[in-house]
Amino acid sequence: MDLEIPLFPLNIVAYPGELVNLHIFEPRYKDLVRDCLDTDQHFGIPAYNGKTMSHGTEMMIIKVEKVYPDGRMDIRSRGLRVFEIQDFYDPWRDNSYAGGRVSVLENDMDSRSDTAEKVLKLSKELFQWLNMNEKFKIDSDSISYSVAHKIGFKLDEELKVLKTLSEHERQLLIIKHLEKLLPALERAEQARERIMMNGHFRHLVPPSF
């Protein structure tokens, strides 16, 4: 399905279901927000990686948290659906902001229990390493989107998750990443401990031959 919507390119990846808080200060994007509010329209956040834009997420404004005297706004929005950009115009139609035609993509949200359990296990191990285990909540309906921002992915890796239209395949990407990251953290911690012990008296037990 194709849509024509306002587009707000940002150097972030927004995921379906994610709550995204935005501070709107540029005049043209203040216009975009006002137009969306007036017409009950959604907008899109295409992920800009510094070179290209190909995919993004359709967003719904759920609340205007604050309006400043100079017209700046703090808004809360929620991600809805992944899209691929077909046409991008800046400016778009008679507006000051960008927009264009996007294709909403089918997204297979089914996952396998064994894969989902492994993502949860590895993610919790990482959060424990970071002493942040209680700060993150994971949505069981969309595990990959819940953890993708929290496991050290670079922007292009987050974008790869967005472009992967199968929950099972997204979970496999996350497992692969965490299976590399966690041993590296363990090696770094062991190195730190060895460095801290350098120059100290150590109680070592020699091997028996």
Q: 3-28: per-residue pLDDT in tens?
A: 999 999 999 999 999 999 999 999 99
Give the amino acid at 73: M
Residue 199 pLDDT exceeds 70? no
The pLDDT value given to residue 121 = 92
pLDDT digits 0-9 by tens, 84-95: 999 999 999 999
Residue 189 pLDDT exceeds 80? no
The pLDDT value given to residue 159 = 97
Q: Copy the structure tokens of residue 121.
A: 């296990």
Residues 180, 160, 56, 101: what is their CA dihedral angle, to the nearest 10 degrees? 180
Question: Is residue 195 very low, low, confident or very high in pLDDT (cuts 50, 70, 90)?
Answer: very low
When pLDDT is averaged across residues 71-88 and rounded to a whole number, the result is 97
pLDDT digits 0-9 by tens, 130-170: 777 656 677 777 899 999 999 999 999 999 999 999 999 99
The pLDDT value given to residue 52 = 87
Multiple choice CATH, 2-104, 2.60.120.560, 3.20.20.300, 3.20.20.370, 2.30.130.40: 2.30.130.40
At a CB cut-off of 8 Å and minimum separation 6, what does 119 contact? 143, 144, 147, 171, 174, 175, 178
pTM, 2 dp: 0.85
The domain segmentation of the chain, as residue ranges, is: 2-104, 113-197
Residue 193 pLDDT exceeds 50? no
When pLDDT is averaged across residues 179-208 and rounded to a whole number, the result is 60
The pLDDT value given to residue 188 = 55
The pLDDT value given to residue 38 = 97
The CA distance from 115 to 144, in Å, is: 11
The pLDDT value given to residue 10 = 96
